[in-house]
Structure 1
């Protein structure tokens, strides 16, 4: 019996009945890059019950023990049916001529066909996104008006408050379209004024900004799979046909590194990956790496075209960078 058949037998009755704990929503991890998740986590920490943190699948006591042993070498080479990935590095295709003082730490992410640039400091976020898909405003505007950015008509959204806002913080969003049809959107959540946000937006012209080195290496991926999302500590791969259609991770598998686990919602099925203890749940596979680290793979079981055996094979070919 294959792992797929074992898992189907074990989880069949659970999948058929409603659960008080919904499956993890992958989009909540990456809706506007890692900064949005961090902002929600900060808000939850001060008692904002309306903000939902991602539900992470966890393992029984067997997997909570830390080990100092090194991570085993990858043992799943590319084969005729699986491919060694050859993805270009993630690059934001603009470079701002001016960034507000104290904007914070810079990061570059991939959101489907769009690329995302953000600056973050102590809950304040300034971001820019460019690509063929229209981004999300993230905040309901109290007022809207028009402006121009480098000769192009632009829509401006403003609000005096938003979830997680501190004293003096406000939301400013600017969206416009480039001559080649791509959309550009700038969002500010923090102490910056509308004139400062427009100055930053108008300075987004030539140049580029490379993303950081990815957190994970994939030895082999299923045929037709490509990089769908990449941000700090979070990577998703999916069938190439789905990537141009959505900024959301969909139809693929998302990988992240965890440093802590929560109590399990329900029992899973034990297995091993590269000799490491692992646990299958209906939409996650969690692998103990040792040194209080766990690798988690998450997917939407209704749309991901991979079997459980293929999920394990994908996991066995992932190397976590130091």
Structure 2
């Protein structure tokens, strides 16, 4: 399952959820979908309330007991110096000059090489995506036609229904190519009609929208690693070469804070990170933070080039922000 499949599933699940039920943040659910894919043995996502943090927690540096078996992959040589992250803050590289009335909560996130801006309210979703990778339409169109966005040829997809659509809801998608060669796309699920969606798309012009402060701070990362994914309470770092290809974390490592845990399928290897209990499995390192919270790092078993010591070194320099 690709990242776009996860996004599609999340969007459809959100649209199908009754408005009377409390909804976690859309993009946090998208991140949880990525997480589920990377942890194939484990199911379920943690909602916004379950991920809420009450304090800043620093995982103190350095491993004090390293009994974990090494991950069977080529490690960064121990003599190689790690580097302080130098990636820029996440910003959506355009600014909307107009948004529909009462659009909902705004969020900005990074998925691989593409940046996303979304507005979400009670199952109504309006999102924009910009980057070198073409986004997915998410919904099968009943009709398609051509239009223009700021003088650029655009493709428009429309459907009067989709999974979970309410009375009067419809899907509208607009995709066009920017003058610098990047792709831009706007998707709408909800009560908005095509003229409103096109107005929003045409209003995406020069400027930027900053993301909220990241949930985690990394003291150091392996050489060649950069930010691959950033959303609320979820971040991934990966080799820069893989980030440029698509939205999959690939051979990177993803981080989140859990407020509840599932029982491991197999007994984990227990170690400590500077006095904090930690558990290794084949694809996760989980560190107790106290107050029913755990810092969890996850990777795709058999693809990461980091050893268990590398994973611990990465974890030891992570600051969890409230």
Q: TM-score range by the shorter chain?
A: 0.7 to 0.9
- Aligned mates of 1:179, 1:133 — CA distance in 2: 15
- Aligned mates of 2:5, 2:290 — CA distance in 1: 24
Coordinate RMSD, CA, aligned? 2.9
Partner of 2:3: 27
Deviations 1:248-277 (A, max 9, x none): 222201111222223443432222223222
Shift of 1:29: 9.9
Q: 1:131 to 1:72 in 2, by over 3 A?
A: closer
- Aligned mates of 1:169, 1:271 — CA distance in 2: 52
Partner of 2:106: 106
Alignment of 1:40 with 2:13, yes or no, is yes
Deviations 1:112-131 (A, max 9, x none): 22111111111111110111
Partner of 1:267: 267
For the residue of structure 2 that corresponds to 1:40, the secondary structure is helix
Q: 1:259 to 1:304 in 2, by over 3 A?
A: same
Moved runs in structure 1, 4+ residues, more than 6 A?
A: none
- Aligned mates of 1:30, 1:222 — CA distance in 2: 28
Shift of 1:194: 1.1
Structure 2: gaps of 5 or more residues: 22-31, 43-53, 64-78
Aligned length: 280
Q: Which moved more, 1:262-271 or 1:272-281?
A: 262-271
- Aligned mates of 1:166, 1:269 — CA distance in 2: 49
For the residue of structure 2 that corresponds to 1:245, the secondary structure is coil
Partner of 1:7: none
Shift of 1:177: 0.3
- Aligned mates of 1:201, 1:175 — CA distance in 2: 9
- Aligned mates of 1:274, 1:226 — CA distance in 2: 26
Partner of 1:207: 207
- Aligned mates of 1:100, 1:72 — CA distance in 2: 41
Aligned runs of 1:275-286 on 2, under 5 Å?
275-286=275-286
8 A contact 2:157–2:174 mirrored in 1: yes
Q: 1:161 to 1:256 in 2, by over 3 A?
A: farther
For the residue of structure 1 that corresponds to 2:153, the secondary structure is strand
Using structure 1 for the length normalisation, give the TM-score. Answer: 0.78
Partner of 1:145: 145
Deviations 1:105-153 (A, max 9, x none): 1111112221111111111111101111111112222222111111111
Partner of 2:60: 74
- Aligned mates of 1:265, 1:27 — CA distance in 2: 25
Partner of 2:122: 122
